[in-house]
A and B are shown apart, each in its own frame.
Chain A
């Protein structure tokens, strides 16, 4: 379980998150929904101790501000986009081996590290492109490398920042399955701007708008209070039923 109390984050003097208190259950996939610039990324980065914050964040018993970065790196993965430079591009294999550093012991990788990388790569259908450079991959392949980099150290907490950005529906479906599989024995949190993707994958929901939590609760509650989502995103949502599950479909330009 992730527990947050009185979280304040300022960035260049601007308040990005205001006095946030919430809990994310350990046994459900938490989905953070919100429009661009709402503070979703900031929230995940505060939990990962990547940015400075005021307030307290607990990963189960562990208070983040009092925990060294190295310890957090061992138990938590946060993924966002990877930096890519054509002339200095890492291969998929290098990227995944580097992502094992927090839990890898020696100076060079152990056989165990190497095997973990190969297994994770296979699970994400990257087995045949281990020696490809990141700069040569498509967005969908790159997103699978990003997800693999989070999974390869097998941390307890997995925070995915927009795992569905810039990829086609087939790739989204694949990522959704991976997230669901890993949520069985990991605490999974992800952000998205895609309401449909969020509702399909998430089990517990947090809606952020302008740095404030405007909703947190279970699936059914969110469907009942769809007006909150409509207000946050500034559009109309229609409830439809697919396979006995209610979904909210955005209606553009109605």
Chain B
């Protein structure tokens, strides 16, 4: 039927937004209700939702433009690369979100460039990207760990960036996050159709009038920069950008990025808010607050392994 999937996706998108709104409400308004707590919760929930949305959309962009179902900003090394330069900048200039988010872009894009170059040199397959990303991640994570010892004396919260946590949420971030979301939303209309043609192969994209090199570079630079900025604020939050596009594709039974990307953003925001709530409300009652990044990895990593398994089963069978 004409526009069948579009209508279905829009309904699903509306439902998820509604669900997200309800979850946001209950994540903010619960006893005890003091002004300070409400303010804190409001800031934190807003940060989580913006971050989730940005990382979810970026995940779908990166997977589409590299035609690779196994990547997100974390796997590709953007996370650890930007974290390393954020630490460096804290040591050199002290902590300032605008300085650290700018240098994060340099680190994130450098790491991403190294990962892609190595992956393309060793054949450019899905798994080549994962392997190359693993190496780049180890390098920059290692360097970051070395720096943590120096950074912590200047900025004690730096360790939170390494694991990924929203305990750092602050109202100062909202303007920045809003700008990032607006950039992302405007890029949506420019990028999603070319990304769809890229999924048929570079030759096809060009034959359909879209220069693959141009649109791939544009997507990579945009996604890399936005993800780096998010990392400079809340640290390494892996797997959420990997999982959400897959969940969205599974729900709407298409990989059309016009439909997948927005849903992936909302699904990712929902998942991240759920994990953050879990860490903030439930775990903190028993063992103290566990950084959200750690919990996301605990749930996300098995999903990633599952994806790799199905990928290889598909190839053999």
Contact = CB atoms under 8 A, between A and B. Distances in A.
Interface of A: 45, 48-50, 69-70, 72-74, 77-83, 85-91, 94-95, 97-99, 101-102, 107-109, 111, 114-115, 131, 135, 149
A69 B69 contact: no
Contacts of B310: 86-87
Interface residues of B, dominant DSSP: helix
Contacts of A99: 208
Which 9 interchain pairs have the tightest Cβ spacing?
A: A73-B209, A83-B201, A87-B69, A86-B314, A70-B209, A114-B2, A50-B206, A78-B207, A88-B69
B193 interface: yes
B37 to A, nearest CB: 43
Contact of A88 (B67, B197, B204, B253): B67
Contacts of B203: 45, 50, 78, 80
A49 B196 CA distance: 20
B126 A85 contact: yes
Contacts of A77: 207
Give chain B's interface residue range (CB within 8 Å of chain A): 35 or more
A78 B203 CA distance: 9
A69 B201 contact: no
Contacts of A94: 196, 254-256
B6 interface: yes
Given A86-B311, A91-B254, A74 B197 contact: no
Given A48-B206, A87-B311, A98-B208, 4 more contacts: A88-B249, A94-B256, A107-B189, A131-B253
Contact of B206 (A69, A81, A109, A114): A69
B200 A108 contact: no
B27 interface: no
Given A108-B3, A114-B3, A83 B311 contact: no
B62 to A, nearest CB: 12
B193 A48 contact: no
Chain A CB within 10 A, most for which of B6, B126, B206: B206
Nearest to B254: A94
Contacts of B201: 81-83
B211 interface: yes
B97 interface: no
B69 A90 contact: no
Contacts of A98: 196-197, 199-200, 208
Contacts of B311: 86-87
Contacts of A72: 209
Given A85-B67, A91-B254, A74 B3 contact: no
A116 B204 CA distance: 19
B208 A89 contact: no
B258 A48 contact: no
Nearest to A135: B314
Interface of B: 2-3, 6, 63-64, 67-70, 126, 189, 193, 196-197, 199-201, 203-204, 206-211, 246, 249, 253-256, 258, 307, 310-311, 314-315
A108 B258 CA distance: 8
Contacts of B189: 107
B236 to A, nearest CB: 24
A149 B201 CA distance: 13
A89 B2 contact: no
Given A87-B69, A88-B67, A88-B69, A50 B207 contact: yes
Given A85-B126, A86-B314, A107-B189, A101 B200 contact: no
Contacts of A73: 207-209
Contacts of A102: 208-209
A89 B126 CA distance: 14
B218 to A, nearest CB: 16
Contacts of B2: 111, 114-115
16 contacts: A49-B206, A69-B206, A69-B210, A73-B208, A83-B199, A83-B201, A85-B67, A86-B314, A87-B69, A87-B311, A88-B249, A94-B196, A97-B256, A102-B209, A108-B6, A114-B3
B70 to A, nearest CB: 8
Contacts of A115: 2
A101 B209 contact: yes
Contacts of A111: 2
A101 B69 contact: no
Contacts of B63: 88
Chain B CB within 10 A, most for which of A80, A94, A135: A94
Nearest to B311: A87
B254 A86 contact: no
Contacts of B68: 85, 88
Nearest to A102: B209
Contacts of B211: 69
B211 to A, nearest CB: 7
Nearest to B211: A69
